[in-house]
């Protein structure tokens, strides 16, 4: 029995590091295999995984779905490689998927949920902080700036704030959310401002943890802000971490459970 094909949809970027990181994450996902199904089945080792981009990079989402339809694929889980439910998840991706459904009526497309929030994302953030030189023993003396790209969506802003609170509960002495692009007055501060605020509060060591998946213009802005404010530690982007790959598989499994099973029935 074959499950739905998986289409990982990334935002895309003019920065070549972005696509390279996305492809590395998908390779790690493939290497981890497919988890058991909701009824305790053995999983689907033959899972077809493809990658597409909304902008800047090829292939596009319509191109990949066209190829899948021509290859006889009948069920697809479209998984947004996004950390919050902002404009891309609520508008861009549903629009392109609806166009594909109209063009390929025999192709059943289920949109999976975005990646966040999830404890696995917090685990990935901590992995990057430890890789940057911190240890669990440093938590009580280290404040963390959880630096996201930025959004005008109140739901996305609230999720980042919630993730910062959850990260604080793991033992760090303070955690502050920040946005590389402060697009509204209600947005969290810029990373450099959050670093300075923690310094003013007397935090001995300040680390900046980019809450972004891949390198690009806004992650570079996060790094520049960390340097400008003399942060003690700058972690890497989440990238192809095992936690992120495992989360992709979880979201795939959740969405595939909602698919109608056309492939099995056929």
Whichever domain contains 261, its CATH number is 3.40.50.1400
Query: Are both 168 and 95 inside the same structural domain?
Result: no
Rounded Cα distance between 97 and 104, Å, is 10
Cβ pair 88, 123 in contact under 8 A: no
Provide the 8-state DSSP code for 252.
Answer: H
Query: Are both 260 and 203 inside the same structural domain?
Result: no
Query: Are both 148 and 178 inside the same structural domain?
Result: yes
The per-residue pLDDT for 233 is 98
Per-residue pLDDT of the chain (266 residues; tens, 9 = 90+): 368 999 999 999 999 999 999 999 999 999 875 544 444 444 445 789 999 999 999 999 999 999 999 999 999 999 999 999 988 899 999 999 999 999 999 999 999 999 999 999 999 999 999 999 999 999 999 999 999 998 888 999 999 999 999 999 999 999 999 999 866 656 789 999 999 999 999 999 999 999 999 999 999 999 999 999 999 999 999 999 999 999 999 999 999 998 776 444 43
Rounded Cα distance between 164 and 52, Å, is 30
Cβ pair 149, 177 in contact under 8 A: no
Q: Is 125 a domain residue?
A: no
The per-residue pLDDT for 32 is 78
The per-residue pLDDT for 86 is 87
Q: Is 28 a domain residue?
A: yes
Cβ pair 168, 122 in contact under 8 A: no
Kindly give, in sequence order, each residue whose CB lies less than 8 Å from that of residue 22, ignoring residues fewer than 6 positions away: 8, 10, 51, 53, 81, 213, 214
Query: Are both 144 and 194 inside the same structural domain?
Result: yes
Query: Are both 222 and 258 inside the same structural domain?
Result: no
The per-residue pLDDT for 44 is 44
Query: Are both 23 and 78 inside the same structural domain?
Result: yes
Query: Are both 145 and 77 inside the same structural domain?
Result: no
Query: Are both 110 and 171 inside the same structural domain?
Result: no
Rounded Cα distance between 82 and 93, Å, is 11
Q: Which structural domain range is residue 226 located in? A: 133-234
Query: Are both 230 and 246 inside the same structural domain?
Result: no
Handedness of CA 152, 158, 160, 164 (dihedral sign): positive
Query: Are both 175 and 221 inside the same structural domain?
Result: yes
Rounded Cα distance between 69 and 92, Å, is 21
Number of domains in the chain: 2
């Amino acid at each position: 029995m074959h499950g739905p094909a998986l289409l990982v949809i990334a935002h895309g970027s003019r920065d070549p590091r972005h696509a390279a990181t996305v492809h590395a994450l998908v390779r790690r996902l493939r290497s981890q295999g497919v988890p058991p199904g909701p009824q305790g089945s053995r999983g689907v080792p033959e899972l077809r995984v493809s990658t597409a981009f909304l902008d800047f990079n090829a292939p596009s989402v319509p191109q990949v779905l066209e190829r899948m339809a021509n290859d006889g694929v009948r069920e697809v889980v479209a998984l947004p490689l996004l950390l919050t439910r902002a404009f891309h998840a609520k508008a861009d991706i549903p629009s392109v998927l609806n166009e594909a459904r109209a063009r390929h009526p025999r192709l059943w497309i289920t949109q999976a949920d975005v990646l966040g929030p999830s404890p696995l994302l917090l685990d990935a953030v901590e992995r990057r902080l430890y890789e940057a030189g911190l240890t669990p023993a440093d938590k009580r003396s280290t404040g963390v700036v959880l630096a996201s790209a930025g959004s005008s969506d109140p739901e996305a802003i609230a999720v980042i704030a919630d993730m910062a609170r959850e990260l604080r509960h793991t033992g760090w002495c303070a955690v502050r959310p920040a946005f590389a692009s402060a697009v509204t007055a209600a947005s969290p501060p810029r990373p450099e401002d959050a670093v300075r605020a923690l310094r003013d509060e007397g935090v001995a060591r300040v680390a900046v943890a980019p809450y972004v998946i891949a390198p690009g213009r806004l992650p570079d802005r996060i790094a520049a802000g960390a340097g400008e404010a003399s942060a003690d530690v700058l972690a890497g982007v989440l990238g192809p971490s095992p936690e992120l790959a495992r989360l992709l598989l979880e979201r795939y499994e959740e969405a595939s459970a909602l698919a109608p099973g056309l492939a099995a029935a056929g």
